[in-house]
Amino acid sequence: MHPFDLTILGCSSATPTSSRNPTAQILNQHERYFLIDCGEATQIQLRRFKLKMQRIDHIFISHLHGDHYLGLPGLLGSMHLLGREKELHIYSPPGLEEIIAINHHYSKSHLNYKLVFHAIESQARILEDDKMSVDTIPMNHRIPCYGFLFREKPNLRNIIKEKIEQYSIQVQDIPAIKEGKDIVSAEGKTISNAELTTDPAPPRSYAYCSDTIYNESYIGQIKDADMLYHEATFGSEMIDRAKETYHCTAKEAATIALKANVKRLIIGHYSARYRDLSPLLAEAKEVFANTVLAIEGEKYSV
């Protein structure tokens, strides 16, 4: 199967710590990199984990709190200095284009590639191609904020090798067969697709939910996702602070995972107060057993 995995570049909430950076992740599908949020020092983390920045063509910014986008101006500048020419798409709530523009105005900077800004203002499909679709997931935070649902397009059917010889199948017929079409043999006989192929691997999906106060409004949207990253800024002992700041506890993140029937949960966006993350993990696991911690540099297969 083609790669479809996530690398955590940063998993701290607002203030970074000496061991945790602000939010950023790379989703790798078919060796295309999708950058999800871009906290300060994202470009440094990319280098550290040997992920090629020029492989990123789409950047998704959940919201305009600094810990989710302040690494963007530096990354854009480095992409330019390192010779980028292909266009780059940036999806975020409105405002980011203006922020980048004023930085470039004062630095008299010009990028040798085209930036295409896509303003997110509702639940919508913001990207779709032959391999993937991306939908926004409205969060409930202090400012406009969106999660993202990445879904593979249905995979092509697998041709049974022996059938190619058996029916003398021509190369030019293979794409149609993979798409589920029957064929007609040289003798004029229809051979059903079911005889020629096996079911493909089911399309995989990854849901990214950060930042938000606990709310069940998006459970339907992320239903049955293969992997869910959900913010878990606090432990339950800080539930009041979580509500006040429009964040979730680890237990709440796990409750969402349970209700949405996802296959696996990654928690992250930890408050700097937690040096030891095991209490957050334990709390989540009590509700949803298949929970893991987001750890910088770790790769998680969807």
**Number of amino acids touching a second copy (CB under 8 A):** 38
Cα distance between residue 228 and residue 207, in whole Å: 5
What order of strands is seen across the sheet that includes strand 205-209? 125-128, 132-138, 146-152, 205-209, 227-231, 265-268, 291-293
For position 279 contacting a second copy by CB under 8 A, the verdict is no
CB environment 30-49: b (16+ within 10 A), e (fewer): eebbbbbbbbbbbbebbeee
Q: Is 54 in the site for a second copy (CB under 8 A)?
A: no
Q: Is 291 in the site for a second copy (CB under 8 A)?
A: no
114, 82 Cβ separation under 8 angstroms: no
- Which member of 26, 28, 35, 40 binds a second copy (CB under 8 A)? 40
What are the φ/ψ torsions at residue 61 (nearest 5 degrees)?
Answer: -110, 120
Check residue 18 for interaction with a second copy (CB under 8 A).
Answer: yes
Catalytic residue among 67, 135, 211, 226: 67
* Residue pair 245/182 in contact by the 8 Å Cβ criterion: no
Q: Of residues 118-177, which lie at the interface with a second copy (CB under 8 A)?
A: 142-143
Which residue from 54, 78, 221, 290 is in contact with a second copy, where contact means CB under 8 A?
78
Q: How far is the CB of 142 from a second copy (least distance, A)?
A: 7
List 300's β-bridge partners, or say none: 6
Catalytic residue check, 67: yes
Angstrom distance (rounded) from CA 302 to CA 291: 13
Task: Name which position in 5, 32, 44, 123 contacts a second copy (CB under 8 A).
Answer: 44
Catalytic residues: 67
Which residue ranges make up the site for a second copy (CB under 8 A)? Answer: 14-18, 21-22, 40-41, 43-44, 47-48, 64-67, 70-71, 73-74, 77-78, 81-82, 95-96, 98-99, 102-103, 105-109, 142-143
